[in-house]
Structure 1
Amino acid sequence: MLREPLFHFVILGLLLFLAGRAYQTRTDVYRIEVTPAHVAQLARSYALQFGTPPDAATLEQLIQDDLRDEMLFRQGRALKLDQDDEIVRRRVVQKEQFLIQNLHAPAEPTETDLAAWYAAHVDRYAAPSRAGFSHIYFAVGPGGDAAARARAQGALARIPAGVTRGPERGDPFPDLYDFSAFEPEQVERLFGRTEFAQAVFTAPTGRWSGPFRSAYGWHLLYVAARDAPTRPPLAAVRERVRSDYLQGAQDRANAAAFEQIARRFTVVRADRKAAP
């Protein structure tokens, strides 16, 4: 019997069958093995969330809930529900980004590093200019934009010397007429990114000027005082500089890690037409 080729064929086939069944059992999508390590992970997650370890009944319920989720997840994958799903795609991308960041955390900067960073980005930490100003408002009426501007020009010529405010010389304005120590961002938030908002920080001080256009209409402007931007010493903004330095280092490390990943891929741009 040992010399029969048929016997050898049967034995080899049996071995292959058993090996295939063993592999299928280990990789079967419908076979879930609850390991002690996974149960411990469930217990740790519960303790982190609630501040105390789960009791036996709670732990068993956690295991049953986890099994239910795993069954639904595997069944969904078997039906290929994870394919072409934008939410699943975004979640996987997010997890990969977290993984890259965790593997490439930047080193703590030295004082020399911080000083160099601050010197290269000093304008980022400068305190913005501040201005105190008053304005006279002219609404755009039935006569249109040109008529409102002409009214403002006429009012400017009639303002006596020494007058620093005169809201009654124009139209009612829906907000304040006088502003103290306003920064550019505050002015733009109220008047829009307009000619008037720019003039608050460029027009001469101590006299009326204009008219300047805003999101509301036309204005005459009186800038009483304006402080130039100031650059604080490194010691005053050290924590901001450190945070920005680490973020910059992290961004560069992330970019380098992504480049290594990108080199493994071949991108075929079928959407682009071939050059003539």
Structure 2
Amino acid sequence: MSLRIIVFFLIGLLIFILDVAFNSEQDSKDIYISDQELTSLLSAWQSQVGRPPNDEEIVNIINNFVQEEILYREALLLNLDEEDRIIKRRLAQKITFLKQETVPEDPSQEELKGFFEQNKGNYYVPATYSFSHHYFSKESSAKERATKAFNDYQTNGVELKGDPFFLGKNFYQNSANEIKKNFGELFFSTIKNLSINEWSGPHESTFGYHIIILKEVKTGFSPPLEKVLIKVQQDFLSQAQDKAIAKYINEIRSQYRVIINPDYKF
């Protein structure tokens, strides 16, 4: 091969490399906004504001998008995305959403029925209790005052009056868990055994003593599938999405090695 051919080849190669480098750099500075992106930007703005944007607002929307894209690219050039926990978490969320979208959103009736039967306890409607009470603070001889007030009511028909209670006087269709949370276990163990529409007391709670009238008890029950169909479908899809993510991670986990300093002191 003659020297002239070699020189010609090297010059051509140099021109090619410079052209690729120049065009690559130029392409990296192009910000292409697709029709889909524009539609998404304008729709998001309209959803937030409640009306379509005018011409000036459209310009501002596009300028804001361009500014964000420029800052994003400059941040990548500075490798600011590396070792950033927030960015890692966001990217992990995005791939999670992508994998969740692979789950069909229209399970069959047989699948929903089977899921409902396996998880029937999750849809059980607990018993509820409706009651009123007069409260006597334990900070000031609560039991003695409550006993006297109740005796005066029974003997002489004196109107029942207690201390102000921060949650109020009347409670409508409270579940066992709600009553336990608001008054304590001891109070609930008392109220569930009271007779309907009869004042009784004093009964102890976490906060003091109470004179109580139980007005209504609704028995807990398991609703039929058709009454909770929407909730069952949501739960079915949520579980299917969780399984899809777990399956995906298990399939690729073997491709990774986890290395931890064996001398690290936990």
Give the superposition deviation at 1:152. Answer: 7.6
Identical aligned residues as a percent: 21
Q: Please, what TM-score do these two structures have when normalized by structure 2?
A: 0.71
Structure 2 Cα separation of the partners of residues 203 and 272 of structure 1 = 60
Partner of 2:71 in structure 1? Answer: 72
Matches within 5 A, 1:79-118: 79-102=78-101, 104-118=102-116
Counterpart secondary structure, 1:182: strand
The 3 A distance-change label for structure 1 pair 62 and 47 is: closer
Instruction: Report how far residue 197 of structure 1 moved.
Output: 5.5
Which of 161, 165, 184 is the aligned partner of 1:173? 165
Displacement, 1:229?
0.3
1:127-179 Cα offsets, whole Å, 9 max, x none, are 2211133434231326xxxx64x54896699588899x9743x5443454443
Larger displacement relative to structure 2 (113-122 or 263-272): 263-272
Helix, strand or coil at the partner of 2:87: helix
SS in structure 2 of the partner of residue 109 of structure 1: coil
Structure 1 unpaired stretches of 5+: none
Change (3 A) 1:166 1:263: farther
Residue 247, structure 1, aligned to residue 238, structure 2: yes
The equivalent of 2:257 in structure 1 is 266
Q: Tell me how far apart the structure 2 counterparts of residues 53 and 176 of structure 1 sit (CA, whole Å).
A: 48
Residue type of the alignment partner of 2:17 = G
Question: Any residues of structure 2 matched to 1:231-246 within 5 Å, and which?
Answer: 231-246=222-237
CA 1:221–1:271: 2 relative to 1, 3 Å: farther
User: Counterparts in 2 of 1:124-143, with a 5 A limit?
Assistant: 124-141=122-139
Q: Are residues 1:198 and 2:188 paired?
A: yes
CA displacement 1:34-80 (0-9 Å, x = unmatched)? 55xx443344335544598998x998877665544333222222222
Q: Could you say what secondary structure the match of 1:181 adopts?
A: strand
Paired AA for residue 195 in structure 1: E
Q: Letter of the aligned partner of 1:237 in structure 2?
A: V
Give yes or no for contact 2:153–2:159 (8 Å, CA) kept in 1: no
Give the direction of change, closer, same or farther, for the CA distance of 1:111–1:166 in structure 2 (3 Å limit). Answer: farther
Most deviating of 223-232 and 66-75: 66-75
> Does the residue aligned with 2:129 lie in a helix, a strand or coil?
strand
CA drift of 1:257 comes to 2.0
Q: Distance in 2 between matches of 1:220 and 1:64?
A: 67
CA distance in 1, matches of 2:72, 2:124: 52
- Distance change in 2, residues 1:160/1:68 (3 Å): closer
After superposition, the CA RMSD in angstroms is 4.3
Gaps of 5+ in 2: none
TM-score (norm 1): 0.69
SS at match of 2:228: helix
Query: What is the correspondence of 1:31-70 to structure 2 with a 5 Å cutoff?
Result: 31-34=28-31, 38-46=33-41, 48-49=43-44, 50=46, 66-70=65-69
- Report the Cα distance in structure 2 between the residues aligned to 1:63 and 1:173, rounded to whole angstroms: 56
Equivalents in 1 of 2:224, 2:155: separation in Å? 39
Q: Distance in 2 between matches of 1:174 and 1:40?
A: 57
**Residue deviations 1:153-210 (CA, integer Å, cap 9, x gap):** 96699588899x9743x54434544434333455356x25x22553366434357467
Partner residue in 2 for 1:212: 204
